[in-house]
Amino acid sequence: MASQDWFDKDFYKTLGVQKDVTDADLKKTYRKLARKYHPDSNQGDAAAEAKFKEISEAYSVIGDAEQRAEYDQIRAMGSGARFTAGGQGAGGFDDVFSRFGGGRGGARTQTPEDFEDIFAMFNQQQGGFGNGRFGQSTGGFRGYGGPTRGADVTARTTIDFTTAAQGETITLAGEDGKPFKVKIPAGVADSQKIRLRGRGRPSPDGGETGDIVVQVAVRPHPVFTREGLNIRVVVPVTFTEAALGATIEVPTLGGDTVKLRVAPGTPSGRVLRVKGRGIHTAKGTGDLLAEVQVAVPAHLDDAAREALQRFHDLEPKENPRADLMSKARG
């Protein structure tokens, strides 16, 4: 922003606040005015658009603590004086900057190098008089080459496993208390972020509106787990089903069941695959992975125990851990 503007414009008056206004009240006032005069709410109203730019310009300066301090210092130092093209009248450079080596009313000529020395006392990293040499245009209200983009707003939501897998449109409450809808795409993963373009905070100086960034947390499912686009489920089978073979029912995420054939001699840990019953997304479709787990009965009656003992006497006398022990010994 040009230094002359800081002398000419009373940003506190523009926003209708006192000089000692708190940061919180200043922000509250600005947001109220921005909503009232925003071009989206006053389409075709040139006066409202001009007012919006004025309040955005004012807040871009005094809404920043460092720039506000600079602005107050310059306004106090200038006491209403203006930069003039030259001459001996009140309001010239000497009236304002005489303390910087020229003496009050001194006659020495100011050079561009003098101006640089004068303005170096102010922190220019956040805009102020600009990042270039004195007199050069910096662009934008804060010296960044154009209007600043509005801030993003972060929102969080927790959804269940099925909603994450199948997708759904949900409603969340915005920071202003108003509800807004979010389309959860099928296959969204835990900790994934969904960006809603142009739904965040408005720019302080007429630039692009920020976004709403929704971070999604997915609750674990009591039965299913996710592996990419595949869904895994652990399916218990009895010893006899695993040993003799059987046809079993397996649940799917949609709620229905599918039938799977367990081959005779199926070991615990073997995975049976059901094509196309995983997660459906635009990138592809996963499978259902049914991991067989042999369930050992915790209680046996006498008849079952006797039958199992007879089987033990008849089963092949092979040590199932022999290969394990051999590999362990190297």
pLDDT in tens, 252-300: 998 899 999 999 999 999 999 999 999 999 889 999 999 999 999 888 9
pLDDT digits (tens, 9 = 90+) for 21-30: 998 899 889 8
- Work out the burial of residue 284: count CB atoms within 10 Å of its CB; fewer than 13 is exposed, 13-18 middle, 19 or more buried: exposed
The contacts of residue 274 (CB under 8 Å, 6+ apart) are 250, 252, 258, 260, 287, 288, 289, 290
Amino acid (1-letter code) at residue 211: D
pLDDT digits (tens, 9 = 90+) for 82-133: 443 344 444 444 444 443 444 333 334 444 444 444 344 443 333 433 333 3
3-state SS, residue 276? coil
Residues 220-231 have a mean pLDDT of 94
Place of tokens 């019953």: 277
Helix axes 46-62, 65-78, angle to 10 degrees: 90
99: its two tokens = 């303390």
**Domains within the chain, CATH numbers bracketed:** 3-80+111-119 (1.10.287.110), 153-218 (2.60.260.20), 224-328 (2.60.260.20)
310: its two tokens = 């007879």
- Structural contact between residues 17 and 25, judged by C-beta atoms closer than 8 angstroms: yes
3-state SS, residue 72? helix
Q: Return the closest-CA partner of residue 121 out of 161, 85, 73, 83.
A: 73
Q: Which residue has the higher pLDDT, 31 or 83?
A: 31
